Amino acid sequence: MALLDLDLTTPDGVLQYLSNTSFASRSATRLSGGTANFVYRIHLNAPYERKSTLVLKYGRSFLEIEGQWVPFDIARQRFEAEALEAIREWVPSDSLVTVPTVHLFDDANHVLIMDDCGETSVTLKALIRARNILPHVAEHIGRALGEFIAFVHSRGAEQSHEFLRLFASNEQALSISAWATYGRARETLDGSAGLAVLADQPLHIEKGKLDKVGAVAEAVIEKLKHAEEKFVMGDFWPGNVLVTLDGEDIKSIQVVDWELAKTGIPELDIGQFLAEFYLICRFDTDARVAAAETARAFWHAYRNMHAIDRRAVTKHCGVHLIAWTPRVPWGGKETTRGVVMEGVEMMCREDVDVSDPTKLFLPESLSYPVRIVSLDADVGNVTRGDRLLTYSFAYLPANPSPDAQPETRFGTWDCPVDGELTAWNVKPGEVISRPKARDRPAVLVTEECTHGEQIAGMCALCGKDMTNVDYLGVSDTSRASIQMTHSKNGPTVSREVAERIEREANEALLKARRLKLIVDLDQTIVHATVDPTVGEWIAEGQAWEAKRARLEEKAAARAAAEESGEDIDDSDPEEELEECNPNWDALKDVKKFRLGPELLAPTNMRGRHIALDEGCVYYIKPRPGWQEFMNNMSAKYEMHVYTMGTRAYAMAVCNVLDPDGRLFGERILSRDESGSLTQKSLDRLFPTDQSMVVIIDDRADVWSGGLQFWSPNLIKVVPYDFFVGIGDINSSFLPKIPPLMPQATPPGKAPRDKPPIPTPGKPEENLKDADVELRAQTLEAQMEERPLAKKQEALQEHEEAAEGGDAAASDDEHSSTSSKSGKKIPPLLTNNDHELVRVGKLLDEVHTRFFIEYDARKPASPKKRKLGSQEPERHNVPYDVKRIIPSIRASVFQGCHICFSSVIPLDIQPESHECWRIANMFGARCHATLAPEVTHVVAGKQGTAKVDEARRRGNIKVVTPMWFKDSVNMWQRQPESRYLLDPTPTSQGATPPDTDMEALGDTPESDEELLVTGEGVQLELNDVDWADMDAEIAQELGDDDDLDDGEEDEEFSDETNSEITSATPSPVRGQKRSRSVTPSEVGADGPRSSPLAKRKKLAADRVGESPLKAGITAGDLTVAEAKVASGSRSKAGSRAATPVRRVNGSRASTPRPRPSRPGSVAGDTDSAMDSEDDGGSQNAEVDDDFLHSFEDELEAELDLGAEVEAG
């Protein structure tokens, strides 16, 4: 056709071009193009060979990139037309996969007209990512494509020399293929390409690997120049595959865009195709199943039809990941960087085809000992399922008769892998015991691939399906079970691969002089609540700020008018600026976000129709100093988030703290990916080497430390309790999604009465469902009961009462923010936390010590340290945080010999108690008795034998438990002078005036959560019947359990909340995970003598026995003072609710008697108190009038003691 002067880049030009041909059309719809080609779907005026639509492709002789024209030889169209014509002849007529038929090739006007796949056709990449393709359909497509390209490669290599020379002349295709991948690999990695996604921080790639990538690229490019014997497609990827579906039926598959067809290396076609599916699996987890099925079926089909160099395929997969991932907007920055590094590993790997022999061990399930009867496989090739050996064993039935004799039976062992059997380690006649079978491999098999890296059930190295389970009962997925990425569905690796990856990552960090830091979120870096009161206070503060600004603006305008002599408009009433919400200053940096109901609970807990306004608003308060802390630590540590919150919650909080991903990137691990609902594990992220990993967390109980009690990597943080009394919002789960129709509450049962009890089923599912329900109840209580508003009101009333003034009645709607008395309202929330400064200093010290030791290592050592190795030398390396952190801890009480008194219960072995173990961990030597070397007695009360003896000696410091707790919290020994146990009754156990006991340690989330822990027993006070307790107290008063002076008077002390339980602890209904303590639960106050104690002693003398082991008082108040303070009292056994309030970070609540509280019965009577079955000894009778009077006095002191303690 003659050259026409038409603009074929527009639909009108195309229609004009077609008007005088057999392809005259009524419309032309542009499908794609603009860079080099323009592709249109043309709707014919009349059918052409029974087709109503065709595709027109117009090409230009240049590429238009960012406004610049780059030459692009139009001769490419000739290669495409020739390739399509040839392949149509090669492919069988019944093939599901075809190529378009060319109906017109107009070389003069650069036009190709070919078949149209149909208006419903989509690219395979779009189809997979649309997530609407079933796995079996994806498998069918993959298998068909594998067979197709294998057929093309095979037939192409059989063509004539003229055919191959024609495509070898497509030098432009050769240069583009080489440049687009191998030509850009080095510049991508070294940063010279200037890619934004890799620009923030350079990739830490050791020079050896960078040079290796460059060498591989140069070698492949050189090989491409001389590859003239095999025909390849040149651009085989899912975007060039068009699929037409009819439901689940595949109507057609066409492979298009053959402009880069040439002679080359077939493995490059395969590598490019598989790399694209690898990227889909890494970035689009919802599409990973279909992508993996397609890739797996494709690989198997191709290998069955065509020989292939798997090493070359792996290299090209790697270079594709390097060159294309950062240039195509696949997803997050951190994942992109990670995939690029995975590409480096693929390019540098040398062990794809040759590996060390696999050691095969006899199964644990055999009836040992066994005798080897015969070796049934010779040295050479073996396949999975081949018989390896026959063995015999002695068999006895389960209930043999007395004269039964063992029966000899036989069994066989089949090969679990494919490969080459290289050596036997057993011989016929040898007897194998269980230990020998466990320690010594029976046979060595060299495998073609060890399947050490897997993704979506497919080997990432060879493409084998790892999920197949045959009669052997074991799938190959177990060979790569370690998940090292932060995503839930990332690739898994074997231990050998994990060691190599971690070793190389650590080497890169060491060169940058950085360590790894795992950061917890809740109560470590932030504090969160869902109490709507916070939102209202923020709104009030913002309104107050706006009003102040308005008044200041008016005042400035008035001043300016007065100065200029202008008339002033006095018509507007003068506004007054009322007092601001007292908590506004502390709330200015609080952020909020909403999690919708689809992110709060599993779908089976929700109705089908959710209102738009449902969900939960979270208020997040960053810890003071967090920005400076994070900026400083990011220069010295690679930071990872590890939280027990959900993924949605973790991402939302990190978006507040790190909106640009500079600090954490995508290194975020939540409970959804952790694998456990109750524990955190370093092995989840760093399975083979934890020597460079530091943890900061407010809880130690979630990190297993093995024999060291706490994890040796842990720096425990004092919990951040900004929203007073809220605690850790993720120690429960997320709000319960309400049903569409309200459910009636059974009579006599209150909502949220008890936590759910798991029903029989899968344990993990039951635990998760119960946890979801419990956490939902907790957050619902916050949202509905508004505890902060109640605490603010109680605080205000307490302050007014303390000042002696009459409390003005406050408005119901604004009681928390205004006062009619005009007095300044005290704030409930304050910004007085400085914990991150202390933690930052500790982290700096760890970093400094590590690199001092690292720099001092012996360079001439014959064995270089291999990170992650299990060799004995590994544990002697000094540059290991697992050695450094415990050594810092141990320096706190170095040289101290501690004896506890009235701190550890009598019914617990002292060595197993938490205080004892923590003291040892922080460098102290503990003693059960007052040995000569004891330097400190940590006493919970006065008057014990140990306290008296220590004072008699004179060289022993007798301190309150607060000294121990504060020293542990601060990781620094505190001066004893501030914590001495005052011998005078009026100040025993007093807390140092500038010490906030609650702020320095872990505090229970509510009064009801205090646990008294004995050996294997935990008591949750939610279920305590206080009336019964009163009755028991009265009953116990007649018991005889007085101790001799020489016996140790050890008791539960204030707020003892040990985590030590027996190996099989008793279940506790509704119990939350107990907070690990730096013994913040060890109290400082002990009992004091009082008139009431004398009355009890008198009662004991009257019956000849002592009914109580210690006095029960509430400070120095007399019984008469208690009666006056408490007013009228109810009869014995009743209890009036007395408000107890704390200021500056304390809780406000209605008290209940607590075991182990100063001045309480449980605190002043021995935990081992004996009780007679009949209620008391016959000799221990006290007249009823005295007992009733005593009970009233006791009750008054208990209640008033709680008030005094709170005040």
* CA nearest to 1053, candidates 978, 896, 1163, 970: 1163
* CA nearest to 289, candidates 146, 132, 148, 492: 132
- Cα separation values, 946 from 351, 910, 938, 957, Å: 68, 15, 10, 12
* CA nearest to 1035, candidates 1185, 1172, 1199, 1190: 1172
Which of 235, 522, 1164, 1166 is flagged as catalytic?
522
- Three-state DSSP at 65 gives strand
Residue 894 to residue 919: CA distance in whole angstroms: 10
CB neighbour list of residue 346: distance below 8 Å, 6 or more residues apart: 314, 315, 317, 318, 321
Residue type at 473?
Answer: G
Which of 520, 698, 1049, 1054 is flagged as catalytic?
520
522 is catalytic: yes
Given a contact cutoff of 8 angstroms between Cβ atoms, the answer to whether 372 and 426 are in contact is yes
Given a contact cutoff of 8 angstroms between Cβ atoms, the answer to whether 201 and 335 are in contact is no
Q: Cα(first)–Cα(last) distance of the chain, in Å?
A: 101
Which residues does residue 631 pair with via DSSP β-bridges, in sequence order?
none
Q: How far is CA 54 from the centre of its chain?
A: 53
855 is catalytic: no
Count the neighbouring beta carbons within 10 Å of the beta carbon of residue 808: 13
- Cα separation values, 165 from 178, 231, 530, Å: 19, 10, 72
Residue 431 to residue 373: CA distance in whole angstroms: 10
How many residues are there in the chain? Answer: 1207
Residue 413 to residue 409: CA distance in whole angstroms: 14
> In terms of C-beta distances under 8 Å and separation of at least 24 residues, what long-range contacts does 1064-1068 make, across chains too?
1064/1016, 1065/1016, 1065/1017, 1065/1018, 1066/1016, 1066/1017, 1066/1018, 1068/1011, 1068/1018, 1068/1019, 1068/1020
- Three-state DSSP at 529 gives strand
Residue 501 to residue 867: CA distance in whole angstroms: 10
Given a contact cutoff of 8 angstroms between Cβ atoms, the answer to whether 303 and 295 are in contact is no
Q: Starting from the edge strand earliest in sequence, which strands make up the sheet with 419-424, in order?
A: 358-360, 443-446, 419-424, 380-382
Given a contact cutoff of 8 angstroms between Cβ atoms, the answer to whether 467 and 300 are in contact is no
Residue 1200 to residue 1125: CA distance in whole angstroms: 7
Tokens of 454: 């897997």
Question: Strand 515-519 to strand 637-642: parallel, antiparallel, or no bridges (unpaired)?
Answer: parallel
Dihedral in degrees, nearest 10, Cα atoms 681, 683, 689, 691: 0
Count the neighbouring beta carbons within 10 Å of the beta carbon of residue 350: 8
**369: preceding bond cis by omega (within 30 degrees):** yes
Secondary structure (DSSP) of 129-171: HTT-S-HHHHHHHHHHHHHHHHHHHHHHHTS-HHHHHHHHT-H
Given a contact cutoff of 8 angstroms between Cβ atoms, the answer to whether 346 and 313 are in contact is no
Question: Nearest-5° angle of CA 472, CA 474, CA 480?
Answer: 145
Which bin fits 451, alpha (ψ -120 to 50), beta or left (φ > 0)?
left
Catalytic residue numbers, as ranges: 520, 522
